Amino acid sequence: LFPWDRVAALGNPAAGPAALADAAPAAPFAHAMPVPRVLRPVRRTHTADHYRMHMREADVEIVKGLTSRVRTYEGTFPGPTIRARSGREVVIRQTNDLDVPTAVHLHGGHVLSEHDGLPMDTIAPGDSRLYRYPNTQRASSLWYHDHAHHLEAENVFKGLHGQYLLTDREERRLPLPRGRYDVPLVIRDARVESDGTLKYTRPSDCPNMLVNGKERPYFQVAARKYRLRLYNACANRYFRLRLADGSEFTQIGSDGGLLAEPVRQTELTMLGGERIDVVVDFSRYPVGSSVVLENTGALPTERPEVLRFDVVREARDRSRVPDRLSELPPMPNGTVEREFVLQTFPEMTINGVTYDPNRADVVTTVGSSEVWTIRNIESAVAPPDFHVWHSFHTHLVMFRVLERNGGPVGPTDVGLKDTVTLGPGEEVKIAMTWGEYAGEYLFHCHQLGHSSGGQMGRIDVRAR
């Protein structure tokens, strides 16, 4: 039994392994990988870019030859990319043309509570709502996705997620790959039935691996450096990503933007919600050759391939990765300590309780520097062989990971984070400073099957 099975199955009692036979066999590398289109503002003022988006159903081809009905922002799967600049506000009018309530959350965004897309703060079918994003934060690869209570996992699985790339002057001054050589790779699982139906089910029944909305595509690249912004947009699953030839690449950023300095990596473990920004140099491969990005965390019943890079041409490359990338804000030196225990039995809880929108689980103040200890320790009523991963996420702030299991942090705990992974039995310490807005926010597990089940808490940030 795969450790995730029982947990995901709690939300999906009808699913079972026998159903796997109905999944569409995936022809690997049958699609060219699309790059999500960049959405154009409908209006620009001196200080803001205004956008309009409709959430609606659309028919798309995920597996070659099949038509799948999905839930989209603006008809695209995944949603279109918003390109924002630090210091310029983005205002989006979101209209819900679906038949389910939705709430749009900018993941990693520093926004006022009323624009945060809280679980109960939903847009009813037929209604619309204005979200304001001030972009007063540093450059980072953010994303927007659904957050309607109990529905977020299914809504995101069915397509309600998109990229939000925020840039700033510090980032633009660096000689990193840019333009067509700066590409988001939105990686997620899916289950597409042989009739094309995209079916929300547990992760062990989701054999289709998608990049930018297509099943195991190929991407034609030039023999030069690319900046690849990796997203784990899965509702319920982790990846362990590597290039099949084991070669190194350079991590330059994480959830909260550029690292202080680049880090050499060969394998990346990513849980739902996390972003990792890497530079891969394809000039080491001869034109005409290919290299596969694979997920060594795939199930034995699944193919490990995620994406094939085909090196098809030479190209000039003036980009490089400097030894110093950015200045991180000073490490918060917290005096307030809090503890959180994530469990899945008998319910999806944090500190023994499920989410209640009417109960504040943490009350803090703007400017409070805190150290949070987060533990993944299963309760005594869990089956003895039960192991599950969690992905702890905070709204409003970026944090730093101080410790993992009492020792040094893991290879992908570097930089500013808004989501941190917790393997079975693991404990992490994180530090953050609450600011700059007062209001109601959230912390939760970003395994969306867990947050949908209640593994989420409310934090009230009070003005000083």
- Residues making contact with ligand C2O (CB under 6 A): 105, 107, 145, 147, 273, 393, 395, 442, 444, 446
Residue 190: HSE in the Cβ half-sphere, 13 Å Cα cutoff: 36
The window from 9-17, 134-142, 274-282, 444-452 that contacts Cu ion (CB under 5 A) reads 444-452
When CB distances to ligand C2O are compared, the closest residue is 107
Cβ 148 to ligand C2O shortest distance, Å: 11
Residue 390 interacts, among ligand C2O, Cu ion, none and using kind-specific CB cut-offs from 5 to 8 Å, with Cu ion
Residue 110 interacts, among ligand C2O, Cu ion, none and using kind-specific CB cut-offs from 5 to 8 Å, with none
Residue tagged 């998109």 (tokens): 162
Figure out which of the listed residues 141, 167, 447, 452 binds Cu ion, where binding follows CB under 5 A: 447
> How far, in Å, CA of 390 to CA of 264, rounded?
25
- Residue among 55, 269, 36, 19 nearest 151 (CA): 55
Cβ(187)–Cβ(297) below 8 Å: no
> How far, in Å, CA of 382 to CA of 59, rounded?
41
Cβ 422 to Cu ion shortest distance, Å: 8
The sign one gets for the Cα dihedral 112, 113, 117, 122 is negative
Q: Which is nearer to ligand C2O, 215 or 418 (CB)?
A: 418
Residue 202 interacts, among Cu ion, ligand C2O, none and using kind-specific CB cut-offs from 5 to 8 Å, with none
450 is a site residue for Cu ion (CB under 5 A)? yes
Cβ 237 to Cu ion shortest distance, Å: 12
The first and second tokens of residue 304, run together, are 């490990």
Q: Which is nearer to Cu ion, 6 or 138 (CB)?
A: 6
Q: Which is nearer to Cu ion, 148 or 235 (CB)?
A: 235
Q: What is the total count of residues that contact Cu ion (CB under 5 A)?
A: 5
The first and second tokens of residue 5, run together, are 């099975």
Sequence letter at residue 380:
A
> How far, in Å, CA of 71 to CA of 96, rounded?
11
Going by C-beta distance under 8 Å and a sequence separation of 6 or more, which residues neighbour residue 293? 241, 242, 243, 244, 305, 306, 307, 308, 309
- Residue among 459, 464, 462 nearest 116 (CA): 459
Segments of 31-78 assigned E as strands: 43-44, 48-60, 68-73
155 is a site residue for Cu ion (CB under 5 A)? no
Residue 450 interacts, among ligand C2O, Cu ion, none and using kind-specific CB cut-offs from 5 to 8 Å, with Cu ion
Residue 198 interacts, among ligand C2O, Cu ion, none and using kind-specific CB cut-offs from 5 to 8 Å, with none
390 is a site residue for Cu ion (CB under 5 A)? yes
Residue 107 interacts, among Cu ion, ligand C2O, none and using kind-specific CB cut-offs from 5 to 8 Å, with ligand C2O
Q: Which is nearer to ligand C2O, 319 or 421 (CB)?
A: 421
- Residue among 295, 66, 304 nearest 199 (CA): 66
- Residue ranges that bind Cu ion, judged by CB under 5 A: 390, 445, 447, 450, 455
